[in-house]
Amino acid sequence: MTTVFWFTRDLRLNDNPALNRAVLDSQVSGSNKVVGLYAVDLQAFHELSGIRQHSLTASLNALNASMDGGLLVRHADSVTELPRAIGEVVRAAGAERVIATRGFDPASVELQNKVGHYLASIGVKLFLEDSIYAVSPGTVRKPDGTPYKVYTPFYKGWMALGWHKPSPFNGVDASGMPTMSWVKPIDDLGAPLPTKESPIVVKAGEAYALRSWERFKKRALNNYSDDRNRADLSGTSHLSHALAHGEIHPRTLLAELGDQPGHEVFRKEIAWREFYGDVLWHHPYSATDYLEPRFSKMRFDEGALAEERLAAWKAGKTGYPMVDAGMRQLATTGWMHNRVRMIVASFLVKDLHLEWQAGADWFEECLTDFDPASNAHGWQWTAGCGTDASPYYRVFNPVLQGIKFDPRGDYVRKYVPELAHIWGAQVHEPWDIIGGYAHGYPVPIVDHAAERDESLKRLEEIKLPKPALPQK
């Protein structure tokens, strides 16, 4: 019996338990045939930015190459047509079951339900296994059975539970010879062709992710605790794209971490991703709405001036060098340093007084490593309406953050050529330099000190009143 494996956010062969089950099922049935299927929603694909279109296509092409051309790609005109597209493959294969990796974000859950119902209507079962996390959302809980709302106790519980060791792909034997075959019972339409330009050539795939991991271990892992916040250094893993597309599983990374300080901090960063996945699982509304509802009542700016400032933020023309460097890095690479993500997010919400969803939507459009849980809750953490234990009072000073995490100004000069003539940390304060604006860099669109005070003033307006003291 041919088995259909539906690839989703797990575009790899190794450490893919759901795929291994599909291979095993085919072997037990005696057919040794597996359909490796990816179904793409063309409407959603065409709505992506150019760099995200190229990112997905590169990932699919790399997966196909690792399967010796065995990936079957089918197209659907919209998300509502995806179940039918998958059903067509199932019918053509004569399969009785479809196996896939379980998704936990709201969109994935909704799609899984629709596909499951459709397949059931034609007499086919959908089996969901494993997840994109080392520990599946909903697993780590307090002793009373309720979910954690704060990261640190979650991390302790996550560590106590632990995770399985990575599992190699079981479609080949010890010598690397195939033990099964990929089949295409219906026309392969191939990875969708991008309709928009990308500013870079996207490198993707499982093999590239594994090479990146090996390079990171040699280059920066041991110093990760010290260098990860430095925007001017190559101190991060650059594996977020691979994790978002499932080209590598976090188990693969965790299995090679030791007790050194850099390793421990990197492990905690992986746990943040898992924590946000857990929070979104328990609170699916928080993908687009406030985790802490009272912040929806805060005064945010609207109108023409607000739209003008949002456009300046997106374009990297706010007049604050560290903010602008980050936004231009995003536009030209599809990625932004994590420390800088916090700086630009704080600036949008607390200096420009715009709602976090506007920034999260822009990140979703531009980031090749977009992850719904990490994006929504990373933004809410900085905006002060999420899981942060001391929320809204943290207002990042974009100048001081720049001086601290780009002390020589190399990061700013790389992405803001109008300031390339200013040497050293002075690049973060061009208004103090004679000729600082000689090459057309914009003046600040707001006064940070004044807007910080305004932001805290607006916080006071929504603070819960203190209970009245009993009269004596």
pLDDT of residue 389: 59
- 237-285 pLDDT, tens digit per residue, is 999 999 999 999 999 999 999 999 999 999 999 999 999 999 999 999 9
> Can you give the pLDDT at residue 174?
86
Task: Express each pLDDT in 355-368 by its tens digit.
Answer: 999 999 999 999 99
Q: What is the pLDDT of residue 471?
A: 46
Mean pLDDT of the chain: 95
392 — pLDDT class (breaks 50, 70, 90): low
Q: Give the pLDDT confidence score for residue 429 in this predicted structure.
A: 98
Query: Tell me: the pLDDT tens digits for 193-205?
Result: 999 999 999 999 9
The type of residue at 422 is I
So what's the pLDDT on residue 79?
Answer: 95
pLDDT of residue 451: 97
What is the dotted CATH code of the domain comprising 293-462? Answer: 1.10.579.10
pLDDT at 107: 96
The CATH code belonging to domain 3-131 is 3.40.50.620
Q: Domain spans of the chain?
A: 3-131, 133-167+206-282, 293-462
pLDDT of residue 1: 75
The predicted-structure confidence for 96-129, as pLDDT tens digits, reads as follows 999 999 999 999 999 999 999 999 999 999 999 9
Q: Do domains 3-131 and 293-462 have the same CATH topology?
A: no
- pLDDT of 295-309, one tens digit each? 999 999 999 999 999
Please write the tens of the pLDDT for every residue from 378-387.
Answer: 999 999 999 9
Per-residue pLDDT of 153-207, as tens digits, reads: 999 999 999 999 999 999 999 888 999 999 999 999 999 999 999 999 999 999 9
pLDDT over 90 (residue 391)? no
Asked if the model's pLDDT at residue 422 lies above 50, the reply is yes
pLDDT per position as a tens digit, 324-333: 999 999 999 9
**Both structure tokens of 257:** 């971490």
Write down the pLDDT at residue 265: 97
| pLDDT score recorded for residue 470 | 46
Residue pLDDT, tens place only, 9-47: 999 999 999 999 999 999 999 999 999 999 999 999 999
pLDDT score at 464: 58
Domain 133-167+206-282: assigned CATH number: 1.25.40.80
Instruction: Please report which confidence band the pLDDT of residue 472 belongs to, taking 50, 70 and 90 as the band edges.
Output: very low
